[in-house]
Amino acid sequence: MSLVKPTLVGMPEVVKDHLMLHLNYIDIYTSSCDTRLHAIEVSQFDGHIKLNLITKNDEDTTIIEYKKTDEGCSILRDANFEHAKSWKIDGLDFMTAFCRDFEMILKHQKSILKQMIIGRSEKQNFCETIRKMLEDVQKKKYRIRTKDCKLWCLTPSDACSVLPSFDSKCLKSLSICGNRDQMSPIDGIVNLEHWKRLKSVNLGDFDIKNILPEILHLQRFEATTTLTSEDVIQLKNLILESTQLTYCQILCTNWKLSNDLMSSEPTLLSMPEVVKDHLFQYLSYIDIARLHKTCPSLRDYINVSRPDASYRMIEVFQAVDNIQVMFETEDKDGGPDFFSIIYREHEGGCLIETAEEDREDTRTRSVSGVNYLETFFRDFGMVLKHQKSILRDMALTPHNTTEQRSQFWKAMQKVFEESGRIKSQRCFLQHVTAPDVLSILSFFDSTCIEKIHLTGMEDGRVNPMDGIIQMEHWKNLKSAILDDFSIGNIAQNIAHLNYFACDTSELTGEDVLQIKNMFLNTPTISSCHFNFRDSSIKQNLYDSLGPAEERQDNEPEEKKRWSFRSPIAKQELEFLIPVSQPLITFALMSLEPTLLSMPDVVKDHLMEYLNYIDIARLRKTCHVFRQYLHLKLPDANIHSIHVCQNEESMELNFRAGLHEDLLKIEYKKEFGDECSIEANYQQENIQIVRTDERNYLDVFCNDFRMLLKHQKSISHELAFIALEAPEKRAEFWDMIRKVLRDTEATTGKKLLLRKRSVILRNLLAPDVFSILPYFDASCLQMINLTGEEGVMTPIDGIVDLPHWNCVEVATLNNFSIPKVLQNITHLVMFSGGVRGITAQDVLVLKNKILHSDDMNFWLLIHENFNEDQSLYELLGPQFVSDEEGHNEFRITIGKDA
């Protein structure tokens, strides 16, 4: 720092005044101008006190702690941050030091604070020293200007003596808390000039006599106090008549109030029927069931009027020894809300467990003398009687044994007979026979039902279901799925549907021809699927349809394809038969101009605006787009990529910025060789989980190879982070090397990752030399390497790589290099180990730093530093800069410091 150049002191007053407006209190310290603080919070503890200076910009917020020491006190600034600083002051009490600084802050605080909090303490009393300091402030005419004031652990006399320290013209909100479990009178506060200007007051553990007339001017009032029955009635009338008071909350300490407060106003029972009917529209079935138990009058009303249960979905699932019902309702924001009830056998009766989606605990109750199935069907019948609105889904699944299935459908049929028609848009019935379907489906309202999904015995047989065609329900359906069932005259009976799927024991070429003609001449149906159990059917279809089309789909499963142009404008019918599956699919495809039909130059330009997540989604849309992406390999355009190894999983983290997560994919090991892939889209708050039958490492490597192929433009960062355990660490770096080699092999050209920054953690020197060559040296600006913990490993060869001469910032944790002057003087920032440093080297480095505008941070770790006295002689006096014992030195030559 030059001692002869013009300084701040030499500037004109007008310039200094303007400059100070842009500084905070920590920058100022000694100049009397506005600190521009947003809020101040003082917290008192045993043996230390904390001062929190809050600004509008969180990054500028400062925390100062004053701690008691044997010699005096210590002062820590921002103790929880990397840039923490500390000072030790001998002979000065920590509370005195705090009061001195706090008074200085108040002198500089000219703008109005948003909030001031003082006295939050572990003790039960307000600090006497702080109280006297605040009283001295008002004597010196330094009124504290704040909109909101919170004072903790005060006595009434403290409150009345401290409040005048605050500017009454600014104060709008006041919160005062006394000593817990002790009610103290604080009548004198209403005589202060502050009280009449306040808009919001919160008094904890204080008692004010005849408080009601004193709160008429407030907008919000909260207190913990005592009340009489007359006070409560007056308070009610006051709130009803007041034009100012909008919120009043009083925690009454003498809660045993007079029976005079029991209102004789009309109750729920005495309300008119139309009011009750309207009120019950806002209750769920659980609320209705609870009201059912309150009294005979309300129970009779509910039994007669039967308010709507308002469920969206009801799903019943029977296991060997229990039965469960799941309900979906609508929450207050219009989203889904789930809860379930399980009925199971219990000693002498049954046990009922209720679980709600947002509650971790379950509620249970036992019912004596009844069977759990009887209890369930009785409750289920009551639910259906109250379900008046149309359900989205009704799903019924009995346990798949002959006895239990038969008992289930017999009991369910009886419940349906008593409850009336079931209104549901979709119906799912599992483990049913054809007679079960015909009897159960008849209880569903045919005007509401749009989709059915029926599943048979799952015994490998296909059973005819022709009787369903005659039902009124079939004509109103839009979608039908018949697993283990088949119907006759398919083309005629499914023409009105949008989608159809079934199993079939026979499908002839004539059937396929009829279905094709039905598709080409019917505007409603869009697709259908047929699963056939006889393998000879597939060959018969090949013979009937003729040669399949030749297409390069690059799909994992081979399919035979036939297509026919539809007479309906811009439509095409497609037949698909997977070679390895007994399945045929008919799908009507639109030929409208799409993204696929755009010229390649347009698609190429469009891809420039997509990131890798968008590209990966497009890859799944169709074979044509997949082939285009495979050939073009659009740029991934991901800012930062982090690859992390966990004990039994791998993480792939995409970031849009330095700290903004875009997508995190975790590949987790599951049972056997299977894995699960969990994708969390941070910005969209969406989580997707899917399973894969492959090993989690194989799936990760496959996805990461695909990502590397799309890495073209220069992006910010790529990080590889391994576990510290030697075996896991070696496995990780072997896998990364294999992925990089395989990517080169599939692309046929040298892989050079164009990154500005590379981070490699928990690796050995050979790993560094095998991984770094895959990064483009001309793009690299920063290297961050972390070696084996507790070992300083030589990594001399790194300085011979072209990457070393290109980077500006290098961090070598647990690695060391020799010849410091030759190898690091071209860097802007260096952190790491160096060997063989001499006093002459230090002198040269010091001179370079003094004459450089770029070198702004250096950390040199020397192996035998404490034994080299010549370094101490050159560096001069040494002092400890923080509590961890880190040493700093000040070097002064001439007028430069």
The tens digit of pLDDT for each residue in 138-176 reads 666 677 889 999 888 777 887 888 888 888 889 999 998
For residue 184, being part of any structural domain is answered with no
pLDDT given at position 681: 65
pLDDT tens column, 196-248: 889 999 888 777 777 777 888 888 888 877 777 777 777 777 777 777 888 88
Please choose, from the candidates 710, 777, 716, the residue with its C-alpha nearest in 3D space to the C-alpha of residue 743.
Answer: 710
Q: 410 near 373, Cβ under 8 Å?
A: no
The neighbouring-strand residues paired with 65 are 50, 76
Residue 858 pLDDT > 70, yes or no?
no
Q: Which domain holds residue 370?
A: 308-487
DSSP labels, 464-482:
E-GGGGGSHHHHH-SEEEE
CA distance 198 to 200: 6
Burial (Cβ within 10 Å: 0-12, 13-18, ≥19) of residue 81: exposed
Q: Are residues 511 and 466 in the same domain?
A: no
Q: Are residues 350 and 474 in the same domain?
A: yes
Domain boundary among 618, 634, 650: 634
Q: Is the pTM of this model over 0.85?
A: no
For residue 101, being part of any structural domain is answered with no
pLDDT tens column, 258-284: 444 444 455 666 666 666 666 666 666
Residue 608 pLDDT > 90, yes or no?
no
Please choose, from the candidates 510, 516, 405, 534, the residue with its C-alpha nearest in 3D space to the C-alpha of residue 462.
Answer: 534
Q: 613 near 662, Cβ under 8 Å?
A: yes
CA distance 541 to 529: 14
Burial (Cβ within 10 Å: 0-12, 13-18, ≥19) of residue 404: middle
CA distance 483 to 502: 6
Q: Are residues 554 and 614 in the same domain?
A: no
Q: Are residues 529 and 615 in the same domain?
A: no
Q: Are residues 415 and 335 in the same domain?
A: yes
For 356, phi then psi, to 5°, come to -105, 155
Distance of CA 43 to the CA centre of its chain: 32
For residue 550, being part of any structural domain is answered with yes
**282-300: buried (b, 16+ CB within 10 Å) or exposed (e) per residue?**
ebbbeebbebeeeeeebee
Q: 52 near 43, Cβ under 8 Å?
A: yes
For residue 256, being part of any structural domain is answered with no
Q: Are residues 598 and 449 in the same domain?
A: no
Q: What tokens appear for 626 in the block?
A: 């997949």
Residue 393 pLDDT > 90, yes or no?
yes
pLDDT given at position 730: 93
Q: Are residues 330 and 426 in the same domain?
A: yes
Please, how many CA atoms are within 13 Å of residue 201, restricted to the half-sphere of its CB? 22
Give the orientation angle of helix 296-305 with respect to helix 285-292, to 10 degrees.
Answer: 140
For residue 482, being part of any structural domain is answered with yes
Please choose, from the candidates 763, 737, 758, 773, the residue with its C-alpha nearest in 3D space to the C-alpha of residue 641.
Answer: 758
For residue 409, being part of any structural domain is answered with yes
For residue 544, being part of any structural domain is answered with yes
Please choose, from the candidates 515, 534, 532, the residue with its C-alpha nearest in 3D space to the C-alpha of residue 577.
Answer: 532
361-375, 396-410, 611-625: least confidently modelled range: 611-625
Give the orientation angle of helix 273-280 with respect to helix 296-305, to 10 degrees.
Answer: 70
Q: Are residues 329 and 471 in the same domain?
A: yes
pLDDT given at position 336: 80
Q: Are residues 389 and 481 in the same domain?
A: yes
Domain boundary among 487, 511, 540: 487
For residue 616, being part of any structural domain is answered with yes
Mean pLDDT of the chain: 78
Q: Are residues 463 and 364 in the same domain?
A: yes
pLDDT tens column, 768-815: 999 999 999 999 999 999 999 888 899 999 999 999 999 989 999 999
Domain boundary among 487, 519, 544: 487
Alpha-carbon torsion (490, 492, 494, 498), positive or negative: positive
Q: Are residues 554 and 473 in the same domain?
A: no
Please choose, from the candidates 604, 544, 555, the residue with its C-alpha nearest in 3D space to the C-alpha of residue 578.
Answer: 555
The residue written with tokens 């740029």 in the block is: 635
Give the strand pairing for 391-397 and 424-430: parallel
pLDDT given at position 262: 46
Q: Are residues 511 and 377 in the same domain?
A: no
pLDDT tens column, 665-721: 888 888 777 888 887 765 555 566 677 778 889 889 988 888 888 777 788 899 999
Domain count, the chain: 3
Torsion, CA 611, CA 616, CA 622, CA 628, rounded to 10: 60
pLDDT given at position 594: 65
